[in-house]
Chains A and B, each alone.
With several copies, the nearest count.
Chain A
Amino acid sequence: MPTPSAARIHEFEVVSNTPVAEGIWSLVMRAPKLAEGLSSGQFMSIAVPGDATQLVRVPLSFSKADPVKGTVETEYAVVGDGTRRLSLMRPGDTSDVLGPGGHGWRLESHPRRVLLVAGGIGITPIVSAARWLAREGVEFDAIVGTKTVNTLWGFDELMSVGVQHVVITSDDGTAGDQGFTTDALEPALAGGEYDLVLTCGPEVMMHKVADICAAVGVACEVSMERMMTCGFGACATCVVPTRSGNVGACMGGPVFDAKEVVW
């Protein structure tokens, strides 16, 4: 039989849940088995309480899984009703979470130096990637894009885990360079230092990142977002068109080899 998802249902308890930037919250939950099982780039699907008419779980990446403390941390943008209700959860509140979900970052190319490219809330799995690269002893730099200075999160986290060099870009120039991550990407790749780019952010951004990498021949992995109903491969609502056909983002992804994706 094909391999079923490794996801299980885990009860969790909120340890902390606080705003860390404009519209962005950081949730730390206690869920020991999940914390052990998650590998970087995977995701989890949270049953958010508070509105019994809304049954679908909210899929989120994580920035840190701490198997020792048994905790998982995620940063999320409040964009609609599910994430708004999530932001209302208080320390001690409980619910359940399904995970670990899908395929994480692959590093199949055994890179020597990695460039991380995050757009907006795409920073969450990028911070996780940074922690993991640091653990693996792979050097890395980062480009972090934000709308404006108030919506920026992740710089301190990247620094603390040992990023070498970070370029910040902002749409309005209030933080770092004015412009998009992709503006910073071309010059960064010009030096030829990188043999892998990991990226997460708006799909248009990731598409452009993928194109730029392809043009200069650098491997690229993208973390794709889709409307997910189940999160474990049963419903086919989350597919990403790839060169080998439609592939479910919740099992074959969310991380894909950028060359495989048909944008």
Chain B
Amino acid sequence: MSAPNMAVDLGGIKMHNPINTAAGTYGFGWQFEGFYDVSQLGAITTKGCAAEAWPGNPKPRMCEVTSGVMNSVGLMNPGVRGLVEQSGEYLQGLSDKGCAVICQVAGHSVDEYVAAVELFEELAPFAAGLEINISCPNIAAGGCAMGSTPDGAAEVIRALRPRTDRPLLVKMAPARVVEVAKALEAEGADALSVINSIPAMSIDVHTRRSRLSRPTGGLSGPCLHNIAVRMVWEVAHAVDIPVNGVGGVMSGADAAEFILAGATSVSVGMSNLVRPDSAPRILSELVSWVEEQGVDDVNDLIGAFEC
């Protein structure tokens, strides 16, 4: 049997296989070049960047919990210009090798999102698509606060849609996902990343203080995988645009679960951090699974969950 087709189309972003990386867990890609050839992945998603650089939150920014980590990085980023200066050449090369570069966009307000998108339009020809992060749990304004209601989410995309012809992904918060997804589709989003980390809290019971510098942080990891699979399934049924599944993918089977639930592509997140060679391993496990399923195209398995 010949190798199955693994190429997928994520709302106009052509991926030579369904494996993507989750923003914030993959730096700007080159951080992984010491471990493997990044271009073998279908896509990478870069750390959320705003029009101007952000310093992020004070330490501690991470604490470990049961089968997961919480972070309060707060979208520390070098700004779009910083990204392009430091990593633009690398990302262009990656794109030339056929790996789709998805640039995540951050903002505290609609205006800031607009400013960032305009800068990406101007400076980032390598971007195969832009992922709008309206779901960061770690910033005071924007993020989660905007992305958790259908109106808030719609407002952002309504403002951005006219500014770019590139595929617009939206990174969704783990809240009211069906309503928000429908609102985003109606505003012209091309694809949806489901889900961002889940707001959570960890208290040191001896000191009575948060284990992070903020009261809450975003939870990532295998602990939330089955919640994310459910949300992907709900969203995939509610809208016609494709879904990128994100949350607790540690193995090819976890990725396969997302695909069966309706995801077109799958992002590897925390797994990159604890085992830097995870993503290519997950890809090869996914290919084996597609072969075992006896299909010659991974697209035949998207949403192939049988109730």
Contact = CB atoms under 8 A, between A and B. Distances in A.
Q: CB–CB under 8 A between A and B in the complex?
A: yes
Interface of A: 1-2, 4-9, 47, 52-57, 98, 226-230, 232-239, 245-246
A6 B34 contact: yes
B64 interface: yes
Interface in B15-47: 24-27, 30-35, 47
Contact of B69 (A6, A98, A229): A229
Given A98-B276, A236-B76, A237-B71, A5 B31 contact: yes
A234 B69 contact: no
Contacts of B86: 2
A232 B31 CA distance: 7
B273 A236 contact: no
B102 to A, nearest CB: 16
B215 interface: no
Given A227-B61, A234-B31, A235-B273, A1 B87 contact: yes
Nearest to B212: A227
A223 B22 CA distance: 31
Given A7-B34, A230-B274, 13 more contacts: A1-B30, A8-B35, A9-B35, A55-B222, A55-B274, A229-B62, A229-B69, A234-B25, A234-B272, A234-B273, A236-B61, A239-B56, A246-B55
Contacts of A229: 62, 69, 71, 270, 273-274
B34 A238 contact: no
Given A9-B275, A55-B221, A234-B27, A226 B59 contact: yes
B90 interface: yes
A246 B272 contact: no
B34 A1 contact: no
Q: Which 10 A-B pairs have the closest CB atoms?
A: A1-B90, A237-B62, A230-B273, A234-B27, A4-B34, A237-B61, A227-B62, A234-B31, A1-B30, A55-B274
Contacts of B56: 236, 239, 246
Interface of B: 24-27, 30-35, 47, 53, 55-56, 59-64, 66-69, 71, 73, 76, 86-87, 89-90, 93, 221-222, 270, 272-277
A240 B62 CA distance: 13
B64 A9 contact: no
Contacts, number: 107
A249 to B, nearest CB: 9
Contacts of A227: 59-63
B64 A55 contact: yes
Nearest to A56: B64
A225 B67 CA distance: 23
11 contacts: A1-B30, A1-B33, A55-B69, A227-B61, A234-B272, A234-B276, A235-B25, A235-B273, A236-B73, A239-B59, A239-B61
Contacts of A98: 276
Nearest to A82: B64
Nearest to B63: A227
A233 B78 CA distance: 14
A195 to B, nearest CB: 31
Contacts of A226: 59-60
A230 B26 CA distance: 10
B253 to A, nearest CB: 12
A225 to B, nearest CB: 10
A51 B76 CA distance: 31
Given A53-B222, A229-B71, A4 B31 contact: yes
Contacts of A232: 31, 34, 276
A7 B66 CA distance: 27
A55 B70 CA distance: 12
Contacts of B76: 236, 239, 246
A5 B276 CA distance: 11
A113 B62 CA distance: 38
A233 B222 CA distance: 22
